[in-house]
Amino acid sequence: MIRILLGHRGTLLRGALAAVLSKEEDLHVVAEFGRTRDVLSALNRVHPDVVVVEARMPAEMGIEEVSRQQSRMLILVDRGDAVGANLALARLAPRVGLIATDASPDELVVAVRQLAHGRPVLDLELAMTALHAKQNPLTERECEVLRMLTTGATAQEIAHKLCLSAGTVRNYLSHILTKTGARSRIEAIRKAEEAGWI
């Protein structure tokens, strides 16, 4: 039996994915979550064989953190978002697999089974996009600050959560604007998301 932990921000789609996977005799969805932090906190409790997550789940930490703690992970990637940092995870194959969100239910089931048995799963079109993706100019900490901005957090709140001074966070924000060529925080978020850096 392959135990699956499922992460997807949409309740309806998460339920549909769980239903597709659970109808297979050898697959069992042991938990479902809508946020990356909940997936992370559940890893040691439910001990899944495979984690299936949407690349754009709401998070203060990216799915990269899940990949560090989970032995096998399948990332559902929208072809329009198939660039940058998320696809850099493809280099971790065969532990991390990438499949497009427009894959068929049968393709999803096959991908989960392949990953559970240590075989690589990588959509060819996503792989080609990854090869042509721009290098992320942001440091890991800058990405973390920018991800927290997407939740609506202020510089003060980010500073408190990351145990930094507000001045240090403002310096990070200044560096982010310079590196992304953005004129505002909103534009920096948009550019970084479009490039797949966060």
Q: Do 60 and 82 touch, CB atoms closer than 8 A? A: no
Read off the pLDDT band of 85 (50, 70, 90): very low
Residue 180 has pLDDT above 60, yes or no: yes
Q: What is the pLDDT of residue 198?
A: 77
**Alpha-carbon dihedral sign for residues 129, 130, 131, 133:** positive
> What is the b/e burial string over 120-158, where b = at least 16 CB atoms within 10 angstroms of the residue's CB?
ebbbeebeebbeebeebebeeebbbbbbbbbeebebeeb
CA 23 to chain centre: 25
Domains in the chain: ranges and CATH: 2-132 (3.40.50.2300), 140-195 (1.10.10.10)
Residue with tokens 């995870």: 89
pTM given for the model: 0.65
Average pLDDT over residues 84-99: 67
How many Å separate Cα 187 from the centre of its chain? 21
Stronger pLDDT, 28 or 198, i.e. the higher one: 28
Q: Where are the beta strands (DSSP E) in 83-127?
A: 96-100
pLDDT at 80 over 70: no
Q: How far apart are CA 115 and CA 162, in angstroms?
A: 34
Q: What is the mean pLDDT of residues 55-79?
A: 72
Give the pLDDT score at 39: 87
pLDDT at 82: 52
Report the C-alpha gap between 153 and 162 in whole angstroms: 12
